Amino acid sequence: MRKFLKTLPMKLYLLLLAAVLFSFFSNDFGLVDIQKTAIILAAGVDKTENGFLLTAQIAVPKGSDRTTGGTSSVEIEAEGKTVSDCVTSIYSKTGWVPKLVFCDLIVLGEETAKSDVISHLNYFLRNEYMPDSCLVAVCEGSAKELLSSTSALADASSLAIEQLFSDAAQKSGKVMPNTLKEFAIGYYGVSKSSYLPFLRMADQEGAENAASGSSSGGEGTEPQKIYTAEETAIFSEGRMVGLLSPEETLLFSMLEGKVFAGTLSAEREGEPVTLTVLKNDGSVSLKGEDAPKAVLSVSLVVRLCCRGVTAPIADVSDDSVPKEVLESAASALKEHAAALFEHAKSAGCDLFNLKRTLYRTSPKRYAKWKDLLPGAAEVALDVSVSSKK
Amino acid sequence: MNKISTRQLYFLLACIMPAGKLLLLPTRLAEAAGNDLLFPAAACYLLEAGAVFCVLLLAERNTSLYDLLRERVGKVAAGILLALLSLFLLFAALLPLMEQRLFVQSIFYDTLPSLAAFAPFFLFAAYLCAKPLFSLGRMWDLLAPVAIAGLLGILVLSVGSAKFGALLPVGAGGGRGFLKGSAAAACWFFDAPLLLPMLGHIDAKKGTAWRGALFYLAGGGAILFYLAVFYAIYAETAVNQLFAFANTSKYFAGITVLGRIDYLFIFALALVMAFYAALPLQASVGCWTQTFRAKPLPVLLSVLFSALFFALLSLLDLRFGDVMDCISGTLFWIFPAMSAGLPLLLLLLLWRPRRA
């Protein structure tokens, strides 16, 4: 008994410690009542006359066996004066507690993006349960239409769209995804500019046949859709002010130095040639003593991928790139770079964060030029395309 | 012998105390000083390291604060001074406890849990406060490697996402930003007063004072590096990032494949923080027990203070913003006065050179 009493404090201490650990780290013992919870996979925001329309794509488990397993989804719409009102409205309409912790995509309708989008995104930024690494995109038409469409490739449209922004897709240079966090940093920074990928959807060719085989197929069903995000919407002070073409998007991606194993089109004697990018370095710097001058530098190491003409086997095995092709590629890139810079400049978007660079490196010149950028900036292009050999 | 060794003291200064500065201090500093957040933090650390040095010089006399004061100013004045110190420590305890509760609720739960989820902490705190100092010393021995692993893990996972250009231009906030930042950060710096009730229980030797200050600065260096990483990740949106230390590591590329492995480090630091949050209560109990040496006093006061703070946190459940504004805005001056001014005053009053 005496021995027990002697060790009692330690036992009590361990018990208390266990209780603290349990209550701290229990996470409510993971008890999420799936019957009462709406796990939101993606949210679409459209502006209406009275405020906002929020389309929440909610995951619905399909089953556990191999044939029917996966995630299906339903779209719930709610209107309100703020995005928060819409979320509350979803709760009152359905009785499901909206859970944003798995929301990986926010889609803004095209018209919505023309007003200051941060007023729509603020709710998600402030929500501590919402991951700020969530992807944000603008779409053609309304976000409601996009999220309600039936994907030809995935169980839910949001899952198919997220595939467009995969690491592999980014490395191809064809898409420029952006996250909620990075968009907000761009918006609240001195440049007040940012970008978002622009989504388009199109009917899948031969969808009539494909639809019958799918879970949502059958007569009278909507055609299945495929999505693309090869264009990029550019923003100034939170408003969408322009749309970069696929070529400009690729160049923008190259300036960020993100392209690896992407492809690039060139010409030889009027015939198309495709090059594979093996290495990409890109940067934008600001120079000039009397007037701001942006230097856009892209350096690529490429190899021959394929020609658009019939070629002998010796030519197919040779991946060296003729000088003429390299020059043709460099010339095309210069053209796109100039167009990209002019496009952003004329739209008033400081896409390359020239103001921010100046603010961070030279406060004196920033004070002098802050009202001139990006409009008064001249551009110098430094594009080099070289072969591996 | 109710003593803590110098090793345990250094662990407390270098590993445990920095953990308390990871919750809301980064956000508050970013709000007040913007990209210059490192300067006010460094100033607070230097001031507090000086105060730690003063306290540890007194520790070399190996006598309790009450006895030192009694010798110099008499029993009554010594009792009053210790009561004031105890009240200050209770006041200083409020913010870490509220931070701790909000942190647990926000980070470890997907939905808002009831207040009861945090209640066991007060049972734990009551028990911890009643323990003699040597037991706490042994805990610091165990917690120090946990704290080092936790902070190191978070820094390693976070640093890759940091764009340190966000810290430029240096001095953008000017003197005003520096003063605002220093004032806002002041309420997180009361580490020297935490050591005062430990006087007489530290196995101090010659050189303990400057070594202690250096260890404190080493912990501060780690916090400054974390602050730089934090601002470099969030830049202008840093003001919106509450409890960022639980989030900065989630951008690590491997997380998408492996899941939130960073939670291991976050949990490790959360454990250390739980001990740190109870420290002001423990120190406050220490002030009373050296004045009145009644045996049941530590237990009674531990229970009383823990119950008091549980009630206070329940009352102020939704008033965290007001409490924060009051403590770090209106009443911020109390902290430098008590945490730097008081140790210096005590040193001037009580220090005698060590006899050969």
Higher per-residue pLDDT: B15 or B241: B15
Q: Is the peptide bond before A9 cis (omega within 30 degrees of 0)?
A: no
Write the CB contacts of B329 (distance below 8 Å, at least 6 apart in sequence): B183, B184
Q: Which residues of B touch A184 (CB under 8 A)?
A: 236-237, 240
Higher per-residue pLDDT: A111 or A308: A111
A97 close contact with B: CB closer than 8 A: yes
Smallest CA–CA distance from B130 into chain A, residue = A9
What tens digit of pLDDT does each residue of B34-78 get? 999 999 999 999 999 999 999 999 998 889 999 999 998 999 999
SS3 B201: coil
CA A304 from chain center: how many Å?
29
What tens digit of pLDDT does each residue of B269-288 get? 998 999 999 999 999 999 99
Contact criterion met (CB < 8 Å) for B110 and A188: no
What tens digit of pLDDT does each residue of A122-152 get? 899 888 788 888 999 999 999 999 999 988 8
Q: Where are the domains of chain A?
A: 32-244, 246-389
Contact criterion met (CB < 8 Å) for A22 and B120: yes
Q: Where are the domains of chain B?
A: 6-350
CA distance A27 to chain B (A): 5
A31 pLDDT above the threshold of 70? no
Q: Which residues of A touch B109 (CB under 8 A)?
A: 27-28
Q: Looking at the partner chain, which of A26, A185, A360 has a beta carbon nearest the beta carbon of B169?
A: A360
Q: Find tokens 């960020």 and name the residue.
A: A256
Smallest CA–CA distance from A28 into chain B, residue = B109
When pLDDT is cut at 50, 70 and 90, the band that residue B27 belongs to is very high
The stretch A57-65 carries a mean pLDDT of: 70
Domain range A246-389, its CATH number among 3.40.190.10, 3.30.300.210, 3.40.50.2300, 3.40.50.720? 3.30.300.210
Contact criterion met (CB < 8 Å) for A28 and B127: no
Contact criterion met (CB < 8 Å) for A133 and B240: no
Chain B residues whose C-beta is within 8 A of a chain A C-beta are: 104, 106, 108-111, 113, 117-121, 123-124, 127, 165, 168-169, 172, 234-237, 240, 242, 247, 250-251, 267, 270-271, 274
Question: A148, A161 in Cβ contact below 8 A?
Answer: no
Coarse DSSP helix, strand, coil percentages of chain B, rounded to the nearest 5 percent? 80, 0, 20
Q: Find tokens 């001074």 and name the residue.
A: B81
Phi, psi of A225, deg, nearest 5: -120, 150
Rounded-to-integer distance, Cα A103 and Cα B158, Å: 22
pLDDT in the model for residue A217: 45
When pLDDT is cut at 50, 70 and 90, the band that residue B180 belongs to is very high
pLDDT in the model for residue B161: 92
Question: A125, B240 in Cβ contact below 8 A?
Answer: yes
* Interhelix angle B75-108/B65-73, nearest 10 degrees: 150
Interface size between A and B, measured as CB pairs under 8 A? 76
pLDDT in the model for residue B232: 96
Contact criterion met (CB < 8 Å) for B121 and A24: yes
Smallest CA–CA distance from B112 into chain A, residue = A28
Q: Which residues of A touch B120 (CB under 8 A)?
A: 16, 19-20, 22-23
pLDDT in the model for residue A315: 72
Tell me the CB-side half-sphere exposure of residue A166, using CA atoms within 13 A.
8
Rounded-to-integer distance, Cα B89 and Cα B289, Å: 14
Q: Which residues of A touch B121 (CB under 8 A)?
A: 20, 23-24
Q: Which residues of A touch B234 (CB under 8 A)?
A: 181, 185
Q: Which residues of B touch A21 (CB under 8 A)?
A: 271
Mean of all residue pLDDT scores within chain A: 84
Q: Which residues of B touch A133 (CB under 8 A)?
A: 250-251
- Which among A34-43, A279-288, B205-214 has the top mean pLDDT? B205-214
Write the CB contacts of A187 (distance below 8 Å, at least 6 apart in sequence): A118, A193, A194, A235, A237, A238
For residue B281, give the nearest of B125, B52, B119 by alpha carbon.
B125
pLDDT in the model for residue A220: 58
CA A29 vs CA A23, A372, B109, B113, B201: distances in Å: 9, 57, 9, 11, 41
Q: Which letter does DSSP use for residue A108 in this model?
A: E
pLDDT in the model for residue B59: 92
CA distance A239 to chain B (A): 19
For residue A279, give the nearest of A153, A383, A386, A374 by alpha carbon.
A386
Contact criterion met (CB < 8 Å) for B240 and A126: yes
Query: Alpha helices of A319-353 — where are they, by DSSP H?
Result: 323-347
Rounded-to-integer distance, Cα A285 and Cα A354, Å: 8
Question: A255, A298 in Cβ contact below 8 A?
Answer: yes
Q: Which letter does DSSP use for residue A27 in this model?
A: G
Contact criterion met (CB < 8 Å) for A23 and B118: yes
ipTM for the predicted complex comes to 0.84
CA distance B116 to chain A (A): 9
pLDDT in the model for residue A179: 94
Q: Which residues of B touch A28 (CB under 8 A)?
A: 109-111, 113
Contact criterion met (CB < 8 Å) for B271 and A21: yes
When pLDDT is cut at 50, 70 and 90, the band that residue A330 belongs to is very high
Rounded-to-integer distance, Cα B181 and Cα B156, Å: 27
Q: Which letter does DSSP use for residue B326 in this model?
A: I
A74 close contact with B: CB closer than 8 A: no
At the top level of CATH, the class of B6-350 is mainly alpha
When pLDDT is cut at 50, 70 and 90, the band that residue B20 belongs to is very high
Q: Which residues of B touch A25 (CB under 8 A)?
A: 108, 267, 270
CA distance B291 to chain A (A): 25
What tens digit of pLDDT does each residue of B80-130 get? 999 999 999 999 999 999 998 888 888 777 666 677 777 888 888 888 888
Rounded-to-integer distance, Cα B244 and Cα B240, Å: 9
Rounded-to-integer distance, Cα A165 and Cα A156, Å: 15
B270: number of Cβ within 10 Å: 24
Look up residue B22 and give its two tokens: 């990871």
pLDDT in the model for residue A304: 81
Rounded-to-integer distance, Cα B223 and Cα B252, Å: 20
When pLDDT is cut at 50, 70 and 90, the band that residue B293 belongs to is confident
What tens digit of pLDDT does each residue of A144-188 get? 999 999 888 888 899 999 999 998 889 999 999 999 999 999 999
Mean of all residue pLDDT scores within chain B: 90
pLDDT in the model for residue A221: 66
Q: Which residues of B touch A36 (CB under 8 A)?
A: none
Question: B262, B157 in Cβ contact below 8 A?
Answer: yes
